[in-house]
Amino acid sequence: MTRMRADARRNAERIVAAAGAVIAEQGADASLEEIARRAGVGSATLHRRFPARRALLEAVFRDRVAVLCARAEELLDSADPGEALFTWLRAVGAHAVANRGLSASLMLGSECHDMIINAGEGLLGRARAAEEVRPEITIVHLLKLVSAISLATEQDPDGPAEADHLLAIALDGIRPR
């Protein structure tokens, strides 16, 4: 792997930081030209470093997703596996609401999506073993619920609270009958 020149690394860091701010304001479909402008670089520099929007989105969200994955790892030691899973899903939901458009932008096959799937599998497995969730529930089911809820509430004035309320309702539905 080749090392980036210092100026190229600084440009990439400025682009990722600007993209994070613009995406938080405008969603994942934010203008790449606006991102380049806020980063203080030309559009060609942005496109040279991030030839596809998806690559830029992954760069923006990778560290944030890593934090969610670390949280899942911490929760694996919880005495209550069901509550650990639900706590993590609420964190994923809050993350998705705060990072408008994340769910729709990073679909199957992305590194970030794979990281979240892998992190959630361990929590779900423990919750399933403790009979805290129905056996047919998969991590993909749960992440689709979280994604749908975040998309449905991202325009609400109190989106995070509404998302948390809807997620609580959905989580009741995955418990054993």
pLDDT at 91 over 70: yes
pLDDT at 19 over 70: yes
Same domain, 66 and 86: yes
Same domain, 82 and 42: no
Mean pLDDT for all residues in the chain: 88
Write down the pLDDT at residue 103.
57
- What string of DSSP letters covers 67-110? HHHHHHHHHTT-S-HHHHHHHHHHHHHHHHHHSTTHHHHS-TT-
Q: Residue 117's domain is classified under what CATH number?
A: 1.10.357.10
Q: What is the pTM of this model?
A: 0.79
List the single range of 38-42, 82-86, 163-167 with lowest mean pLDDT.
163-167
Last residue of a domain, one of 51, 69, 85: 51
Same domain, 160 and 95: yes
Q: For the chain, how many structural domains are there in total? A: 2
Write down the pLDDT at residue 105.
53
What tokens appear for 152 in the block?
A: 């449905």
Distances (CA, A) of 129 to 43, 56, 92: 51, 38, 22
Same domain, 101 and 46: no
The residue behind tokens 């991202």 is: 154
Same domain, 72 and 130: yes
Q: Collapsing DSSP states into helix, strand and coil, what is residue 94?
A: helix
Q: Residue 32's domain is classified under what CATH number?
A: 1.10.10.60
Q: Provide, rounded to the nearest whole percent, the portion of the chain with pLDDT above 90.
A: 53
Same domain, 99 and 140: yes
Same domain, 26 and 70: no
pLDDT at 64 over 60: yes
Pairwise CA distance, residues 101 & 28, whole Å: 5
Q: Provide, rounded to the nearest whole percent, the portion of the chain with pLDDT above 70.
A: 93
| Domain span at 31 | 1-51
Q: Which of 52, 57, 25, 51 is nearest to 38 (CA)?
A: 25
Last residue of a domain, one of 34, 51, 68: 51
Pairwise CA distance, residues 10 & 12, whole Å: 5
Write down the pLDDT at residue 125.
97
Same domain, 65 and 26: no
